[in-house]
Structure 1
Amino acid sequence: MNFDRAKIDDIAALHALVESAYRGESAKRGWTHEADLLSGQRTDAKALREIIEADRQVILLAKNGDAIAGCVQLSHVGESLAYLGLLTVDPDLQAAGLGKELLTRSEQFVRNNWQAKAIEMTVIRQRSDLIAYYERRGYVRTGELRPFPHGDPRFGRPKSSELEFAVLRKPI
């Protein structure tokens, strides 16, 4: 597996990977999907382009040859804080350790490039299995909850009005 920053030329394959892992029937092949909680898109090509072109953001890719097997979005949000999002692993490759490797490389990247002392993420509160996965890797619930962007189809169509994000943080 090779790890590198996403480039504009990666957007089409990156978008296909994210959608296949988070939404629809293909996502249900893996254990980390949101298909039971949301329908519609997870992201779009425009949003991915904006992340790739931003000064304080990066998408790290895990590639098996030319195929994108996983990705993670990192944002430099404060003096010593980074945000991790969009952690994605091909549904057919989940449970093989790639997610854990992407987390490790993310933590190294933000520490080495942005001198971050902590990394934060938000996870839909109702996804208890996924929150437990992150807790096993040292992330701790802060007790803070943030609203889900209900009514904004760019983030999908919630199947429940009760969706909200739990904030998790890890010192690195």
Structure 2
Amino acid sequence: MNAIGAADIMIRKAQEQDIPALHKLVESAYRGDSAKRGWTHEADLLGGQRTDVAALREIIGHTDQVILLAMDGADIAGCVQLVRVDEAIAYLGLLTVDPDRQAAGLGKILINEAERFAAGNWQARAMEMTVIRQRGELIAYYQRRGYVLTEERRPFPLDDPRYGLPKTQELEFAALRKNIGA
């Protein structure tokens, strides 16, 4: 696949009317057979859902959270969630790229836009994220983008089906961090 140029993609905030298409994109990229077309899926570790419509609606309606969409014409090609943790730190989550568009540079564009948004709109000086520890290839991807793997581990919500149905009880999150602002 050819690299996606920034000129081909428009980044904008998600709105209420985007939720059905956004939900479909997230589920297709993280779970089930469609996710396995891309390299960033969790389908081997988790079944069930990745998120639900109510959770997406809550994020979009929250003053300290935003979902940025990567629009390719009328299609949502990817997204990223940002959470203002405090006056200095933002959290990056739900980075999603359509499985058929992965490995073309869109993830990098979304990360860059997320960092720019957090630094410019929230004056964040650092970005944090968590990744399932067992996803070494994805952790390495973030490290190539300047994120540092910390020693911090956080529990995975193993008993909450809103986050998926674990195929192993060994899941846990690894925390990564990157300085993004002055």
State if a TM-score over 0.5 links the two structures: yes
- Per-residue Cα deviation, 1:45-88 (whole angstroms, up to 9, x for no partner): 00000000000000000011111000000000012000000000
**Other-structure match for 1:148:** 156
Match of 1:92, SS?
helix
The CA deviation string for residues 86-126 of structure 1, in whole angstroms up to 9 with x for no partner, is 00000000000000000000000000000000000000000
Instruction: Report the Cα offset of residue 32 of structure 1.
Output: 0.1
- Give 2:175's match in structure 1, choosing from 163, 167, 170: 167
Work out whether 1:97 is the aligned partner of 2:105.
yes
Matched, 1:133 2:158: no
Secondary structure of 2:130 counterpart: strand
Match in the other structure for 1:64: 72
Aligned to 1:22: 30
Q: Percent identity of the aligned residues?
A: 69
Counterpart of 1:84 in 2: which secondary structure?
strand
Q: Alignment partner of 2:33: what SS?
A: helix
1:117 paired residue number: 125
How far apart in 2 are the matches of 1:101 and 1:126?
A: 25
1:2-46 C-alpha deviation (Å, 9 max, x unpaired): 110000000000000000000000000000000000000000000
The corresponding residue for 1:50 is 58
CA distance in 1, matches of 2:135, 2:43: 11
CA offsets per residue over residues 124-152 of structure 1, 9 Å max, x none? 00000000000000000111000000110
Classify the secondary structure of the residue corresponding to 1:34. Answer: coil
- The CA distance in 2 between the partners of 1:65 and 1:100, in whole Å, is 19
Q: Which consecutive residues of structure 1, in runs of 5 or more, have no partner in the other structure?
A: none
Gaps of 5+ in 2: 1-8
List structure 1 segments (4+ residues) > 6 angstroms apart after TM superposition. none
SS of residue in 1 equivalent to 2:174: strand
